Amino acid sequence: MAKRGDGAYERAFGVYFKLVLVDDIMRQLEQAGLRRLGEAEYSYGRAWRYQVEGVRGVYELVEWDVQRSLMRVNLPNLPALEFSGPIFLVKYYPHPDEEVFEEFSAREQVLRLSPYFNYGESPYPLLDSAEGELDPTLFNVGTMYVLADDALGIVRLGAYSQDRFISIAEDGVWVSNVLLVPPGGRDRDVPGWELTWRLFERVAQVYRRVVGGLYAAVGGVGGGRVWSCRQSGCVEQESGEVKLKLLELIFIASSEVRLQAQGILNAQLENIEAVQATGLKPALLWVGGGLKLDDGAFPEVRSFLEATLDMSR
């Protein structure tokens, strides 16, 4: 299992995340509608903050773990290669005047207007020391990862989230003797995938310009979960009411030397092995500018792919 500090991980993090999304060596963030607001150092990981054009809240990517790819790529005379790279928690700090603010939990809303955010005046937490930092589960809306392999010239950008993140307050929620959520009521009902996609789409535009052409998009859908919470803690429960969504975009640097890798990827993608390996139902498959599968689960992604194809002409 890859670990932080391993050569493959450090290469993916240092080159394909830090240089692209932190140092902005190609000056593409602004063109993609992204503005970096700085970073923070939490006890559980480093974090980078971004403003998305047209969105009032602020995003934060928190370095969290190592992601290993689910699709193997084999080339003649080379060992079987697996991609690995950093995985990030995607946090969203809503502006108090946004409609989505009311869909976050009562605790998150109270914290957003507390000294942690200078009583609502700061767009992101100001207290980020080990003594004053927020619980890492708060304000989470999804996950993003970056996988890369220089030998193949391939970068894989992925995200997964639920269409809704729902938590039930079994005992209700009280603040200063005021009942905010009745017993058994929904304390949190956040559009996770929608919020994650707003950032992910802009990040994908940056990678398309810096890394190379978008070669494929693979999407899958599965059953989601809801959280039933009491003072003692929360329990996850499977639910048909919500869906888990995963999308992976595959970029290949434009080089004739890597045409062989394209052919192998093409064969694997035709069998939709990347999605099947995750245990999700295949929902979207787009390869080399052609849409091969679309069950309607990712309408926003299809619009993005169509625009991407138009921009490449």
Each residue's pLDDT, cut to its tens digit, for the chain (313 residues) gives 345 656 778 888 998 999 999 999 999 999 999 999 999 988 888 999 999 999 999 999 999 887 665 445 444 444 455 667 899 999 999 999 999 999 999 999 999 999 999 999 999 998 755 566 888 889 999 999 998 877 667 888 999 999 999 999 999 998 788 888 999 999 999 999 999 999 999 999 999 989 888 888 989 899 999 999 988 888 999 998 999 999 999 888 755 545 655 665 666 566 555 455 567 888 998 887 888 889 999 999 999 998 876 555 4
Indicate the SS3 state at residue 268. helix
Compute the distance between CA of residue 201 and CA of residue 220 in angstroms, rounded to an integer.
17
Rounded to two decimals, the pTM is: 0.90
- 126 phi/psi in degrees, rounded to 5: -95, -25
Contact indicator for 169, 181 with CB cutoff of 8 Å: yes
Compute the distance between CA of residue 226 and CA of residue 201 in angstroms, rounded to an integer.
26
Give me the DSSP letters along 278-292. TTPEEEEEEETTEEE
Compute the distance between CA of residue 185 and CA of residue 276 in angstroms, rounded to an integer.
36
Domains of the chain by residue range: 7-312
